Structure 1
Amino acid sequence: MHNTLPSVEIQRERLLLKTYKTCLRTPMENPGPGKVDQTSVDILQNFHPAMLWDYRPVEVLGDGNCLYRALSQAMYGTQHHHLIRLLTALEIAEFPAHYNIEHPNHVDHIKDSRLVLAKYNDLLLEAATSGSYSCMQHIFAASSAVGLCFESYCPPMVPSEYLSLPYTGEWLDEGSEHQREWPSQ
């Protein structure tokens, strides 16, 4: 099943945006530093400190609109451009083949089986509802809606020094006198 928002509703929203001359401004070249998110800094210090060499986590209000607030902060230096959420919802509604994995003409841009993709109706409803959860598909839709590339980063769940350490270990086969080992080098 690939339900979509009726095209008349999409056209109505687009007409309202056009009538009231509502559009996103051109993003600022340097939107300002924003307030550092110390919790994110602490997490990165513990799990991947090298990220802090090039990136600076910025605090956004955690009210369920954090994706759209973060994009607004990065683009304009303020978290108040809620139009980004509407444009993201319209992107998903207007191009269901790109976001609905059950669509007969689905275009898989993600091509990553590690991601669990949301059902289309849930994806669209979440994009259109203030305070609702956002997922990777919303990031892709927002990127397309505003015409910019975004990067999303989730640190590993173990400190980075463990990711480069060789594994070593040993075990004894049950009922055997033979011990097995694998070397560190």
Structure 2
Amino acid sequence: MVITIEIRKIYKYPFDRVVDMHLNKYPTPLEEHVRGIETVEEKKDHISGIVYRKRIATCNNVLPGILRKVHLMNVDNVYLEEESWLDLKKRTMNIKSRCLTWTQYATLQEVSVFKESSANPNWTEFFQKGSVTVTGVGRLNRLFEVFAQSFFSRGVKKSVHIMETILEQKFGRPCS
């Protein structure tokens, strides 16, 4: 079974500020499970001007104890890979993220887009679609799927809240 989550959000802040906050929001005390993010590759295409980044996030394993009884799930660190393509000319940033841990048991991936709003150039539109597929844990697949759906849904909402909080702390109330 594939679990999908979609979210659309308008940040009432300019594109440059929102993208900067996304690239620099972690680690933060607002999210105790993301311990660090390391940029492992960064390059700029001098013709198109697109900046490509590959980053690896180190996160706490948040699986509940009952799921961690499966020996291979009982790890301290979970690693996520994020690839982004920032196009300052078109005022868009496309992102693909995936979990690098437990790939033989589950696939977690997200596709996100930040773009300057067509309704107001001082705002930024955000769209994210994520999916989780659990396949390799036999009779426990459904239990993992239920946890993944709940965790994924809460995580998306929390991430948006963190962005809003950090933007407001750094830049004040949103633009109208």
TM-score range, shorter chain: under 0.3
Give the alignment's TM-score, normalised by structure 2.
Answer: 0.22
Instruction: Name the structure, 1 or 2, with higher relative contact order (CA <8 Å, separation 6+).
Output: 2
Give the alignment's TM-score, normalised by structure 1.
Answer: 0.22
> Hey, which of these two has a bigger chunk of helix by percent?
1
> Hey, which of these two has a bigger chunk of strand by percent?
2
Which has more radius of gyration? 1
